[in-house]
Amino acid sequence: MKALKSYTNKSLNDVAVFLVLIVLSAVTTWLITATGVTTGVLVIGGICGLALVVFCFSYPFHGFCTAIVISFFSFEVERMLMQKGSGAIIELLVYVSFLGLLVKKNAAGEQFLKRKWHPVSILFIIYFGYICLEFVNPGAHSMAGNLVYMRDFLKQLVIYFIAFNLFSDRKTIRKFFRLWAILMAICGAYGCYQQWIGLLGFEKRWLYSFDILIKLYRLSNGDFRKFSTLSDPMSFGIFAAATATFY
């Protein structure tokens, strides 16, 4: 009886999802016909974005991994489109995954900070205290810069708490390292392509559109530092070095 009830609920959920997809398809088609392709694309993008947020909230581990996958390739899309904003999307997915993990832990009656006095946690607390001291430093150059730095630190802290709670068994850790190995293999292969063949046309166009990038990326031999699909050469170098250490 219990199995029949479970099967019935699953069937009803599948039917509900199917009906929602039909309605969304009909609404999107009507919007494209009535207002143009741009509005329809925006609606589809909004629906996909909402679905992704719900997915990250419902499945924190997969949401966290999704944010990492997007971070590996979104900056290459930015260079292609000459647009910015993917960083905010990645942050949103990380925070939603963190919120989903927090709700999931509370619903299961589990303690979120099981080992709050872990050595790494203590280092984060000390580092946080140092950043707070910077706010009252009379020699600080910019309060806005301190706020940006604090925001970046909080993002790192959230990522640490996610990893601290999710990577609690070897199976999950192996899954993450397999994903990381695949992403870095793609990233490394494309970095070799940039070194041996050269930058693509849209990458050169993006690079030459900002004088500061030319100054930062140009080498003494006239070539440029390679960034692969990542945001900058520094990230590429750090990720490659960390991967070489673990593998």
pLDDT digits (tens, 9 = 90+) for 18-51: 666 676 667 666 666 666 666 666 767 777 778 8
Angle between helices 86-107 and 37-58 (to 10 degrees): 40
Looking up tokens 């963190």 gives: 98
For the four alpha carbons of 140, 141, 143 and 145, in that order, the dihedral sign comes to negative
Residues with Cβ within 8 Å of residue 58, at least 6 apart in sequence: 100
Question: Would you state the pLDDT for residue 7?
Answer: 42
At residue 115, the 3 state secondary structure works out as coil
* pLDDT tens readout for residues 197-241: 999 999 999 999 988 888 889 988 888 999 999 999 999 999 999
* pLDDT tens readout for residues 105-156: 888 777 766 666 778 778 888 888 887 787 777 776 667 777 777 888 888 8
Nearest to 140 by CA among 61, 69, 148: 148
State pTM to two decimals: 0.79
| Alpha-carbon distances of 78 from 14, 68, 85, 127, rounded to whole Å | 36, 16, 8, 32
